[in-house]
Amino acid sequence: MREEELEISLKVVIVGNGAVGKSSMIQRFCKGTYTRDYKKTIGVDFLEREIEVDGEDVRLMLWDTAGQEEFDAITAAYYRGAHACVLAFSATDRDSFDAIPSWKLKVENECGEIPTVLVQNKMDLIDQCVIDPDEAERLGRALGCKLLRTSVKEDVGVMSVFRHLASRCLYEMRRYEEEEDFRIYSCGPRSPSVISAFSPNGSTGGRNLGNGTIVLRATGKMRHHKKKNFVKNACRLL
């Protein structure tokens, strides 16, 4: 595969109770559109968009999951292989806020620890807000997540959510590569290089490092690629 064919692709899952604005969020981000009509997501939905972050072109593949319990058995399978997660709740829905820890646990059970952001949506309805600002900040700290506030309706803060996650993922990727390079050049023969970040069905052609990371042996032609296609087969396999 030629270098120009490689790209950084990240799978992002958006989770939270129903009617908090998950579908509207990815529609706004990917298509620039918004509708007032609420339509319950059945199972999962998928959209994607490419953005530039920290000098890299990053393709975000966004998986919008149903927030109702009856879809849990379906949606859990689609968490697997995710590189990042949006935990969404509504400023006007106390139950959606209280459910956030359980949503985080559901994702962790399938993906382990991945970059995650906590999003308080519907800030255009601040006069109807039922969550104290300090309370939301405390939850973010307790979960180890940055808290961002958005209004999908007014298109406020939506881009920041996905740029933050992409930047976090790039940081983790670069840190891993630097650690690998240090280990390779200080400890002897070159070790395998990460060229794919997940296999949705759990099968691998190489050594599995956990959380879906696949390590395959690199050939001489692969060593100098600047970008790595983390989820090359994701759409086809899912």
Predicted structure pTM score: 0.74
Using 50, 70 and 90 to split pLDDT, how confident is the model at 223?
A: very low
- The answer, yes or no, to whether residue 218 has pLDDT greater than 50, is no
Tokens linked to 52: 């530039």
Closest CA to 19 of 45, 39, 47, 48: 39
Q: What angle do CA 72, 199, 41 make, to 5 degrees?
A: 30
Q: How far apart, in whole angstroms, are the C-alpha atoms of residue 9 and residue 167?
A: 12
Using 50, 70 and 90 to split pLDDT, how confident is the model at 39?
A: low
In single-letter form, the type of residue at position 215 comes to V
Contact 59, 50 (CB under 8 A): yes
pLDDT at 178: 83
- Whole-number percent of the chain with pLDDT over 70: 66
Q: Where are the domains of the chain?
A: 8-176
What is the third-level CATH fold of 8-176? Rossmann fold (3.40.50)
Phi, psi of 52 (to 5 degrees): -100, 125
Q: How far apart, in whole angstroms, are the C-alpha atoms of residue 111 and residue 116?
A: 11
In single-letter form, the type of residue at position 17 comes to N
